[in-house]
Amino acid sequence: MIKYFFCLLLFIFLIPLKIIPCTTAIISGKITPDGRPLLWKNRDTDDLYNNLIYINGSKYSYIAIVNSNDKNPGQVWIGMNNAGFSIMNSVSYNLEPGDTTKLKDREGVIMRLALETCENVDDFEKLLKTYKKPLGVQTNFGVIDAFGNGAYFETSNYFYKKYDLNDGTVAPDGYLLRTNFSVCGIPDEGSGYERFDIESELFKSAYKNKNLTPKFIVQDAARCLKHSITKVDLKNEYSDNPSEKKYVDFNDFIPRYSTSASVVIQGVKKGESPELSTMWNVLGFPLCSVVYPVWFNSENNLPDILKAGTDGNSELCKLSLKLKNKCFSLKKGKKQNYLNINALYNGEGTGIMQKLRPIEDYVFLSTEDILIKFREGSFTANDIKLYYNHIDSIIISKLKSIID
């Protein structure tokens, strides 16, 4: 019996802890080129299929990312509402490591409720104060609003600590970053320090060059293949022969095997209509997908390839995951740890990212003209739908041609 007991203990301790890494940022409009704030999340999860929803909530309407298998979504993972309030999170692993509260994993529930009911950062703080305890969370909530406010709320079951984006002692350069540890938590515990270090390096450079934009975040931060410890940059590790399978170690980069989406929410300037917010979505594996902007509109239109299809999954997410299989093509073992870098980049320029970059550049460029019209009030719901249809056809055609 004693031998059995010790074997059981060993088995328990060898069970891998479920870690859900995410990389996030909040940027004040005071330091962006166009004066609008940004909220970013690289989402890591076991649920690799996700899609976009447009919901008319009890108080506010909102657009958000949900798991495709959540048929009646009670949880959301990043989103914006038509009052100009936006929210996301990253799980924290050093807030209360000894907490044995059974209620947990309710971050998505809190965020859905916040999008339905909160107009600003103060409203969200009131929600945290008044919501029934325990909250069922261990997380860093990140929020912005249409009044120039932003903050991280490092939140556990019974307490939270606010880090105000407008506090010069907290955010001296006008931006805040988080991965999977909390500043107010136990020092050196938690996870995501490797990602935080490279994220900090990237944002410091972009801040210096006045380049804190959605395009920088999507193309340079969300897909960064530099490692903060080994200093390797996987973009330089490919070979000239595209048919060669050159595997590289793929651990502790900002994009991970578990990254299911990357989203940047671009808020509004003070005085602008909150409904002019833009949500830049990269559904699926970011290294095999393309950014797609969406907006509020009177007809509740969303792009067809971002919504749940008849099988419950979004078309863009499905196509992206098919391309992802080319990158992680080992048939046995821990294939998620080994990336075939030649599938993404190669000397002939035929890698997945090399082929998708021109399409994404076009989306960013064409959207600049759309945003001017949208902010002037000369872009209608029907115009938005036509633009979505145009982008749908281009992206689907390109992704399918690479898959084939």
Neighbours of 200 (CB within 10 A): 15
Question: Is 343 within 8 Å of 329 (Cβ atoms)?
Answer: yes
Tell me: the pLDDT tens digits for 81-123? 999 999 999 999 999 878 889 999 999 999 999 999 999 999 9
pLDDT at 152 over 70: yes
Q: From start to end of 11-134, where are the E strands?
A: 23-27, 38-44, 50-56, 61-67, 78-81, 86-91
Cα–Cα distance for residue pair 365/387, rounded to 1 Å: 13
Q: What is the pLDDT of residue 404?
A: 85
Calculate what percentage of the chain has a pLDDT beyond 70.
95
- When pLDDT is cut at 50, 70 and 90, the band that residue 236 belongs to is very high
What structural domains does the chain harbor? 23-403 (3.60.60.10)
DSSP letters, 110-166, are HHHHHHHH-SSHHHHHHHHHHSPSP----EEEEEE-TTS-EEEEEE-SS-EEEEETT
Say how far apart CA 263 and CA 280 lie, in whole Å.
6
Provide φ and ψ at 143, rounded to 5°. Answer: -140, 150
pLDDT digits (tens, 9 = 90+) for 1-52: 444 434 433 333 333 445 678 999 999 999 999 999 999 999 999 999 999 9
What residues does 154 pair with on adjacent strands? 140, 161
Please state, rounded to an integer, the average pLDDT across all residues of the chain. Answer: 94
pLDDT one-digit tens code per residue, 289-308: 999 999 999 999 999 999 99
Give 143's Cβ-side CA count (13 Å radius): 32
Model pTM score: 0.94
CA nearest to 265, candidates 276, 277, 255, 274: 277
* pLDDT at residue 5, rounded to an integer: 39
Displacement of CA 235 from its chain's centroid (Å): 21
The pLDDT of residue 15 is 39
Q: Please choose, from the candidates 31, 67, 18, 27, the residue with its C-alpha nearest in 3D space to the C-alpha of residue 221.
A: 27
Q: Which residue type occupies 382?
A: N
Closest C-alpha among 186, 29, 171, 12 to residue 98: 186
- Cα distance between residue 391 and residue 389, in whole Å: 6
Which range has the worst mean pLDDT, 16-20, 70-74, 159-163, 197-201? 16-20
pLDDT, tens digit (0-9, with 9 covering 90-100), for 325-384: 999 999 888 999 999 999 999 999 999 999 999 999 999 999 999 999 999 999 899 999
The one-letter amino acid at 140: N
Residue 249 pLDDT: 97
Task: Judge contact between 387 and 393, C-beta under 8 A.
Answer: no
Are 86 and 165 within 8 A, CB to CB? no
Give the Cα separation of 63 and 79 in Å (integer).
6
